[in-house]
Structure 1
């Protein structure tokens, strides 16, 4: 599933094509996504100028000149293509946004776990976003914050930082890599973390995600950016997907395990 760096890569790819353009036409071929595409989407969006495209967690938020917004979510296999208006339609091309410069923003999603939703200007909060934790790049996300949230928690630290109510963006790959850089085993009980552990971990989460964004995300299965290019952070992975291979730092074989139903890896030599 595309995580924060992949979604941010797509957002950055779309932004120069969207900002300041008007939506000339909306075509919904199949509204049956994770949540149904609103029947009034075309009526509400056509003719509106796009003011900005932002990101909150794994959701892209497209703000229009009316103050209304659209929420775009890639789900497991969704992709946003920038195409010419005459580009042929293929299977799983569900929603098209034709812009006033005859560019086409096309949402393609074979598994249909993505979403194209409407967020009216009169609604200050959206239920999908209301309970999310801080962004990893915000000042509010730091060691003191993690330390406060970790007190009394008995769950494994990897599951803790993957909880989007704690911080957004630390998905399976990036949580594993952040814990490696912080020298913390993924199985460590969260409540046992020291303040120094939390400070180091917050720094490494921010560091890993920033590097992944700059490298265009991680190419696993279906992910590509809006320009069709794949991400390169996979080349930087130290533990994820390297079960049995020697650690690039200490040479000890990487060990695999399952936490919370998700495959993970860690280095018994580097992580305590």
Structure 2
């Protein structure tokens, strides 16, 4: 394994959120930095409010940062502050990557790609085209995931405690994205994705046994929602796979090189003290 080094030419990247101390992104990116022997570092930033986040983006624009990943609650603000954006970011109206180059800020979103990679790995027989998919939540991660799932041909139903927010998301995405509530929202669902920070109140015993459930939360890896799904005989997809899936494009956008051939999942499981 190569050894990273820190010099005056160091490239600094990071993860931005509030709270952010729980994030595993520094574990992934710094493992890749060390394996590749890059002159770089990846750290955590926790601005207390939108003004603090805007100040951090200004620092990146001034050349102090190479780029950052963005998590709650700043994903939509990140998109609005960018000078240019990828089609994926535009479709979702949110960004989990900001790259800083020559005073310009470019927004991208790899959340949807991370979700698709997780599904390919842990639910390879799941077909999205023409299938009903339920998205629990309407925040930044849900926006990106819903846009990607709709782009893959799924019939996305947004379920959110605040219906107005769900309707705004459905209106932004259009097409096959609708708002649903009550037990009927889950009728015939091939996939249920939890983008909430809490365990959803769903009677999993009423679902079709062929339904797959996914939790974007990754700490613990097997969340109570996923464990309940396993106990009910349902297929499950964990948030750690999604985190790893979006980390590769993020690393390349921030540091300008592809990540080395190092699977971070064993490192992350050891860090968490888990074996899932």
Is TM-score (shorter-chain normalized) higher than 0.5? no
- TM-score scaled by length of structure 2: 0.25
- TM-score scaled by length of structure 1: 0.25
Q: Which protein is richer in helix relative to its size?
A: 2
